Structure 1
Amino acid sequence: MGFGVSDRSLILIVAVASMLVTVTVANRDWYYGGGGFNYTTNWPWGPRNLNNTNGPNKIIVGGSDHWRYDFNYSVWAFQNAPYYVNDVLVFKYDPPSRTPFVHSVYLLPNMRSYLNCDLSRAKLIANTTQGGGEGFEFVLKRWKPYYFACGERNGLHCNQGKMKFFVMPMLRRWHY
């Protein structure tokens, strides 16, 4: 039924579109045609969530919801873009001593692994105990896409719990 687009194709289209939006949002203060029109400040709706500090930002993944099951991190990542090289993502979650629902953080190697929640080639970057207290910090060191997922319950948290997201950090912050 519908247009015949598979769920995976639709997810891929949304993922690519969100990467493009991240690039345009991060560079929204470029001048159009050199004529002095700044499309960040000259539009009626003005700027929003510019994330334009001078240094790296510390960003708590999920905001006040932290890293938990059944929270849509793809939407969260999109709404909190742009991200920049050297920004720090902070993953906070309860350690096993405080909850039966443990979490971890994996870095997936590519978009295909991300879309399929395939953890077979993923790298564990934070185990079930590292999210307690002040959380686990991950620095976005390079200009490349980063794919994150919870690896608990053989990928169930990633597949059904929506505990996955990706970011594409920009190289530099633009100021106007």
Structure 2
Amino acid sequence: MGVKYGGAFLVVVVVVVVATTLTLDVVSANKEWSTVAGNWNKRPHPNGTEAAPKKFTVGGDQNWRFGFNYTSWAINNAPFFLNDTLVFKYDPPNDTTFPHSVYLLPDYRSFQNCDLRRARKIGDLSAGGGDGFEFVLKRWQPYYFACGEHDGIHCKDGLMKFTIWPLIRWFY
């Protein structure tokens, strides 16, 4: 009977020693382990700076135009944070360019169907000229953007739509 419990005790001791050793290996590999959990909301950024809001030109050097995949652009430029600014640039209407506008759609269903009936126009045909116009991501919510020209054709067939849900900027 003593041998039976002695073997079980030995197994427990070995498991505890192995678990402790592995834990110490992980802790020593991550030098900031002791402060990571406690500084998410109280201490300054480790390098002494805090990340400031950024400006993103929608579409990069392609700007806001027909035929560019803005969903891919949003994925490749993510993450976006609260108070980041989106800059929409597009040529004002003329004989050689398509006219564009920017709408903020109210929900995902409207976004999927390019349904502009309840959308809010945030940039008219001439707003994107020159330096463009800016839209600040002020709320923690999904934002659905689309071009509303030609009865939603630019949105449906021209890929001129994208969605962003900004993250809360802790210390990124």
- TM-score using structure 1 length: 0.69
Amino acid at match of 1:143: W
Distance 2:113 2:150 in 1: 15
Change (3 A) 1:67 1:37: farther
Is 2:66 the counterpart of 1:74? no
Change (3 A) 1:93 1:53: farther
Is 2:105 the counterpart of 1:86? no
Structure having the higher helix fraction is 2
Question: Is the 8 Å Cα contact of residues 84 and 173 (structure 1) preserved in structure 2?
Answer: no
Structure 2 match to 1:117: 114
Give the 5 Å matches for 1:33-112: 35=27, 36=30, 54-97=51-94, 99-112=96-109
| Structure 2 counterpart SS, 1:124 | strand
Following superposition, the deviation at residue 173 of structure 1 comes to 4.2
| Structure 2 counterpart SS, 1:56 | coil
| Structure 2 counterpart SS, 1:142 | coil
Following superposition, the deviation at residue 54 of structure 1 comes to 1.7
Structure 2 match to 1:152: 149
Structure 2 match to 1:166: 163
| Structure 2 counterpart SS, 1:115 | helix
Amino acid at match of 2:87: V
Identical aligned pairs, as a percentage?
56
Question: Is the 8 Å Cα contact of residues 58 and 89 (structure 1) preserved in structure 2?
Answer: yes
Moved over 6 A (4+): none
Amino acid at match of 2:160: M
Distance 1:160 1:142 in 2: 29
Change (3 A) 1:173 1:123: same
Alpha-carbon RMSD across the aligned residues, in angstroms, is 2.0
Amino acid at match of 1:65: Q
Structure 2 match to 1:14: none
**Residue by residue, what CA displacement relative to the aligned partner does 1:11-38 show, whole Å, maximum 9, x if unpaired?**
xxxxxxxxxxxxxxxxxxxxxxx95389
**Residue by residue, what CA displacement relative to the aligned partner does 1:38-76 show, whole Å, maximum 9, x if unpaired?**
9xxxxxxxxxxxxx9721101000000000000000011
Following superposition, the deviation at residue 99 of structure 1 comes to 3.9
Following superposition, the deviation at residue 174 of structure 1 comes to 3.0
Give 5+ residue unaligned stretches, structure 2. Answer: 1-25, 33-48
Larger radius of gyration: 2
